[in-house]
């Protein structure tokens, strides 16, 4: 898998396509929710037009929860979410439906995300209908959308069962882009596909992003896939940002112990290298997921971290710049190289 040409992020003076500030998300309701640790704890980042930011972390780290909060599928308990400068944090789903042209999503499973009883044309026309686009214009845009993802326009008359998994995901991408959005949430869009199809879909997404100046929030658990498509990455653990920065810097020279562990655990196609990574990870003493709960005041990675000291358990580290990335670690200068 060779890296595609990446779009240069917009200038800093440009209004971010997506702006998240101090986002807090809690599951449940009432007193129990207030007492439980937040699923997302004061997360902040921006995405510029034409840029991809990758959210990466283990299962349960909060990646998809952030995506749900952006889409309005999970309410925010604190912080703000802005799309093209408009605060959508407290908007109802009905109010958000008016934002359909600005914010769209591509889900993980290409088999369950398409209604099997509807033709592809009907599926692509549905978001257009919410915008007031109907009839011949909607049909023409549906055909054009399919052609933009490499499928024939006459596929509008066919049903999802007549397409492969990779083709269905292309249809899902066409559905997301048919409204000319500014921000697209990509929730594990290639994890259900085989490797060759993954590469094709990722290249397609990169081309569409560059052609239309789209902002992608790319949610994935595979650092290699994130590195392929993203310009910047945000590493999450237990709902907190552990490290963030340019994707090449975070991937090749991580400055947080959790990012090192995550990178060492990522699969590679060469068995000898995979075995060496596993041995290095075990030798470093990184704990496994599911160990004792961290304290509410310190770093959440303490129970698994070989560098942890007393201050790590009592004081939450702030993000600070260390050799090109921002790491939330008291001992970022001591993190071993990969």
Q: What is the pLDDT of residue 280?
A: 64
Q: What is the pLDDT of residue 338?
A: 60
Q: How many CB atoms lie within 10 A of CB 275?
A: 10
Q: Which among 186, 220, 251 is the end of a domain?
A: 251
Q: How far is Cα 160 from Cα 164, in angstroms, rounded to an integer?
A: 8
Say whether both 182 and 224 belong to one domain: yes
Q: Residue 237: which domain range? A: 18-251
Say whether both 260 and 242 belong to one domain: no
The conformational region for residue 42 under phi > 0 = left, psi -120 to 50 = alpha, else beta, is left
- The upper half-sphere exposure of residue 303, i.e. CA atoms within 13 Å in the direction of its Cβ, equals 12
Residue 100 lies in a domain: yes
Q: What is the pLDDT of residue 28?
A: 81
Q: Please, are residues 159 and 119 in contact by the beta-carbon 8 Å criterion?
A: yes
Say whether both 149 and 238 belong to one domain: yes
Instruction: Show Cβ contacts of residue 100 under 8 Å, excluding neighbours closer than 6 positions.
Output: 127, 130, 131, 179
CATH of the domain at 215: 3.40.50.300
Number of folded domains that form the chain: 2
Q: What is the pLDDT of residue 10?
A: 45
Q: What is the pLDDT of residue 5?
A: 45
For tokens 């196609």, the residue is 269
Q: How far is Cα 134 from Cα 131, in angstroms, rounded to an integer?
A: 9
List the chain pLDDT tens, one digit each, 338 residues.
545 545 544 444 588 999 999 999 998 877 777 777 899 999 999 999 999 999 999 988 999 999 999 999 999 999 999 999 999 998 877 777 666 578 999 998 888 889 999 999 999 999 888 888 889 999 999 999 999 999 999 999 999 999 999 999 999 999 999 989 999 999 999 988 888 899 999 999 999 999 999 999 999 988 888 999 999 999 999 999 999 999 999 988 999 999 988 887 776 666 776 677 666 666 666 666 655 566 678 999 998 898 999 999 999 999 999 988 999 999 999 887 76
The whole-model pTM stands at: 0.89
Where are the extended beta strands (E) located within 155-231?
183-187, 215-220
Q: How far is Cα 210 from Cα 184, in angstroms, rounded to an integer?
A: 13
Say whether both 272 and 234 belong to one domain: no
Q: Please, are residues 50 and 210 in contact by the beta-carbon 8 Å criterion?
A: yes
* Triad 78, 82, 88: Cα angle to 5°: 70
Per-residue burial over 289-310, b if 16 or more Cβ lie within 10 Å, else e, is eeeeebeeebbbbbbbbebbee
Whole-Å CA distances, 320 to 120, 143, 250, 317: 48, 48, 14, 9
Q: Please, are residues 104 and 173 in contact by the beta-carbon 8 Å criterion?
A: no
Say whether both 52 and 92 belong to one domain: yes
């Amino acid at each position: 898998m060779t890296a595609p040409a990446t779009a240069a992020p917009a200038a800093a003076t440009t209004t971010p396509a997506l702006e998240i500030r101090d986002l807090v998300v809690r599951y449940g309701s009432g007193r129990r929710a207030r007492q439980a640790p937040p699923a997302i704890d004061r997360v902040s980042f921006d995405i510029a037009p034409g840029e991809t930011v990758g959210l990466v972390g283990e299962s349960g780290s909060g990646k998809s929860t952030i995506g749900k909060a952006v889409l309005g599928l999970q309410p925010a308990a604190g912080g703000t979410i802005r799309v093209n400068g408009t605060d959508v944090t407290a908007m109802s789903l009905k109010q958000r439906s008016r934002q359909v042209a600005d914010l769209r999503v591509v889900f993980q499973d290409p088999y369950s995300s398409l209604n099997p009883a509807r033709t592809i044309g009907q599926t692509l026309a549905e978001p257009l209908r919410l915008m007031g686009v109907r009839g011949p214009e909607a049909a023409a845009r549906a055909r054009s959308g399919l052609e933009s993802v490499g499928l024939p326009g006459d596929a509008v008359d066919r049903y999802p069962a007549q397409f492969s998994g990779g083709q269905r995901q292309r249809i899902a991408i066409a559905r997301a882009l048919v409204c000319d959005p500014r921000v697209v949430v990509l929730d594990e869009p290639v994890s259900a596909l085989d490797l060759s199809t993954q590469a094709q879909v990722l290249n397609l997404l990169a081309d569409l992003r560059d052609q239309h100046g789209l902002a992608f929030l790319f949610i994935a658990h595979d650092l290699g896939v994130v590195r392929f498509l993203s310009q910047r990455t945000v590493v999450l653990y237990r709902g907190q940002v552990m490290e963030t920065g340019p994707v090449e810097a975070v991937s090749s020279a991580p400055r947080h112990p959790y990012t090192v562990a995550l990178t060492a655990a990522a699969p590679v196609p060469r068995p000898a290298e995979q075995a060496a990574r596993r041995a290095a990870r075990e030798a470093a003493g990184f704990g496994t997921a599911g160990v004792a709960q961290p304290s509410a005041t310190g770093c959440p990675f303490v129970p698994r971290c070989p560098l942890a000291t007393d201050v790590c358990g009592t004081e939450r580290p702030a993000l600070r710049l260390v050799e090109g990335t921002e790491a939330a670690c008291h001992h970022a200068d001591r993190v071993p190289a990969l």
